[in-house]
Structure 1
Amino acid sequence: MVILFAVLPVTVAGKAQEDNQPANELTVRLATYNMHTGIGTDGSYNLDRLAETIRESGSDIIGLQEVDVNWSSRSQFENQVEILTDTLNMDYFFAPIYNLDPPAAGEPRRQYGIAVLSKYPILHAENREIARLSTQDADPVPKPAPGFLEAQIHVDGEEVWFYVTHLDYRSDPTVRELQVDDMRDITSSHSNSILTGDMNATPDSPELAPLFEQFEDTWALTNEDPGYTFPSDSPDKRIDYVLTTPGMEVQSASVISSMASDHLPVTADVTLEPGEHPLDASSLKALVDHFDEEGEFTSDVDVHSLKMHLAAVSHYEDREAAEKVVKHMEGFKRLLDHQQDNISEDAYETLKTDADYLISDWQ
């Protein structure tokens, strides 16, 4: 069995970008990784080793499973999400599957679940419910429970919906069938979606068939090798996936060799074209809120003014009044120029570029 190693392209500002790629296209490296709470094949807990695996993968957006936040001694009661995001300098959202009382009063809650790390701003994220058979109940029955992560991510003028999941591990596929149905219902409203996760089922498993009606398997699109991902020390099955909705241009997919977990990470390079999944005014408003929360503005008045402009744009978008949309977005750009001294360079350039994208979409 052959494990493919990622051949990393030249990286510009943390984003996978081919040398000969047209300037108006962007290749994003997506990934999934069941991190086994940071415990490697040697049985040792080593979060630094796992962080280095993620760094070396070149991932721009990665879905993680089996993440501990102050959970237990197995991970030294660490907040793994905060440590990884600080180490890798990425935005994040954590979606607990289990959220338990602390062992003692005044201590943080014990949480276990899934997460997304992103080099791009996460505009909005939710912890959605799907069917689960709890491992924390003595006599569990399938019922809706948290642990399906949905994130709206801003990728240089494009709006991408990124999902992270971890399906039931039991040999009986009944719960996975319910989970697949629930995930399809949630993801069906967005055409530009990426679904990542440990499905605990191989590609030929009947319970996954409905997913492949809605999503394309990036590995199957680009490889003839089996792409085994589990167990990492001697893999003999493929149960970890990066799936995309039809129409996204998949360049390649790789399985990364690492002993940092009992699973191997999977990456997929996907090319986005400007205008393919454009932002609207409400998404730009969410981006302003994101930059405000990150301290990229020095004036609350400036933030309020920008959001008022975008509220007007949303009003005219709803009425499909293209001329008014363009007029108010030009005003938004002038306001940005006026406020430039009070905005970080990154926030200014990003908002200005996205304003141009939105204007061109309505002209």
Structure 2
Amino acid sequence: MLGKGTRLLAAAAAVVACVVLVGPTGPSGAHFARPLPVDAVKDVVPNRVMTWNICNPCEESNINRAAEIATYAPQVIGLQEACVRDVEKIRDYLELLYGLDYHVRYGAVLRNWGRCGGAPWSPGAYGQAVLSAAPMTDRVVVEYPDGGSEDRGYMAVTTLVGGRSVRVFNTHFAERRQEAVRAGQARVLAAEIARYDRAVVLGDFNAVPDAPELAPVWSLATDTDPECHPSPVGACTTTTDWHSKFDYIFLRGISPLRHRVEPSPHSDHHLVHADLAPI
């Protein structure tokens, strides 16, 4: 495992090498050190949490992914469909290019060469990851007994949000048209959430709000989108390119202040972030 200083030097060298070889833009025309919007925040927002399925396999630049995250600079970010190597680069670019320093913990449940590359006999690790501006403790990684068409699971860590200790979960449920599998996954996850008075549950649940399989989670928590409920009422904001609400920030024992969905050209899922009320 490379030390932090070595990783940052490697990331800096990679950026310089790319600029030297191909100029200020890559093959897709995206700038390597992408400038942030004028209204981007300048530092980590202590009470902000985010969930984002970063899309995999997708031919996307980790510098662009880092720029998307830096624009909103949450205290805690849950990533799904994440390869360890990609997350390492995202974290390094957040610090090198935007001055945002994050800790990272991984929740890989699968090793897959097609998704994450690496040597055929040593493929990259794939699953979830949590980035936090504060240190994280008590990490657990659980693979669901039935992942459906692909191994799936959840991870959990304890970290600070708004200056208070919170249990943070990050999950990715089974793909669409696997309702019975997701129902089992929801029961496993809900049993663990129920152990905590205060929890933030991030993830791609691959189910719309009124899907019956989400009932165990809804019984314990509420979504930060005030229009989203387990009954088909309200104008719930969609979170995917196919206009479905699959991505959630569930809260237990915590109230939301603001909820935003930010479409991204770099994934088929939008970034979802919320600012939380004082805990």
Range class of TM-score, shorter chain: 0.7 to 0.9
Q: Distance in 2 between matches of 1:57 and 1:111?
A: 27
**Which residue does 1:244 correspond to in 2?**
251
Which of 82, 99, 103 aligns to 1:91? It is: 103
**Which residue does 1:318 correspond to in 2?**
none
| Cα offset, 1:99, TM superposition | 2.9
Secondary structure of the equivalent of 2:145?
Answer: strand
Which of 49, 55, 69 aligns to 1:36? It is: 55
In the superposition, the TM-score normalised over structure 2's length comes to 0.74
| Cα offset, 1:100, TM superposition | 5.6
Secondary structure of the equivalent of 1:93?
Answer: strand
Secondary structure of the equivalent of 1:242?
Answer: strand
1:207 aligns with 2:222: no
Q: Distance in 2 between matches of 1:83 and 1:10?
A: 21
Q: Distance in 1 between matches of 2:195 and 2:248?
A: 21
Check whether the contact 1:121–1:155 (CA below 8 A) recurs between aligned residues.
Answer: no
Q: Distance in 1 between matches of 2:72 and 2:161?
A: 19
Q: Distance in 2 between matches of 1:7 and 1:116?
A: 27
Which of 233, 238, 245 aligns to 1:228? It is: 238
Give structure 2 stretches of 5+ with no counterpart: 1-36, 95-100
Check whether the contact 2:146–2:181 (CA below 8 A) recurs between aligned residues.
Answer: yes
Which of 167, 181, 188 aligns to 1:182? It is: 188
**Which residue does 2:138 correspond to in 1?**
124
CA deviation vs aligned residue, 1:112-146 (integer Å, no higher than 9, x gap):
1111011121122111232333546xxxxxxxx76
1:61 aligns with 2:76: yes
1:14 aligns with 2:44: yes
CA deviation vs aligned residue, 1:228-284 (integer Å, no higher than 9, x gap):
1112xxx411110000003x12101000121111110100110224xxxxxxxxxxx
Paired AA for residue 54 in structure 1:
I
CA deviation vs aligned residue, 1:76-135 (integer Å, no higher than 9, x gap):
xxx112111222221111111203696356xx5421111101112112211123233354
Identity %: 26
Secondary structure of the equivalent of 1:60?
Answer: strand
Number of residue pairs the alignment of both structures matches = 229
Q: 1:202 to 1:14 in 2, by over 3 A?
A: same
When you count strand as a share of all residues, which structure comes out higher?
A: 2
Q: 1:207 to 1:91 in 2, by over 3 A?
A: same
Q: Distance in 1 between matches of 2:185 and 2:88?
A: 28
Check whether the contact 1:127–1:146 (CA below 8 A) recurs between aligned residues.
Answer: no
Q: Distance in 2 between matches of 1:10 and 1:110?
A: 33
Q: 1:221 to 1:134 in 2, by over 3 A?
A: closer
Q: 1:7 to 1:205 in 2, by over 3 A?
A: farther
Secondary structure of the equivalent of 1:161?
Answer: strand
Larger radius of gyration: 1
In the superposition, the TM-score normalised over structure 1's length comes to 0.58
**Which residue does 1:272 correspond to in 2?**
278
**Which residue does 2:18 correspond to in 1?**
none
Paired AA for residue 91 in structure 1:
H
Q: Distance in 1 between matches of 2:221 and 2:39?
A: 25
**Which residue does 2:119 correspond to in 1?**
103
Q: Distance in 2 between matches of 1:176 and 1:8?
A: 38
Q: Distance in 1 between matches of 2:258 and 2:195?
A: 26
Q: Distance in 1 between matches of 2:178 and 2:124?
A: 28
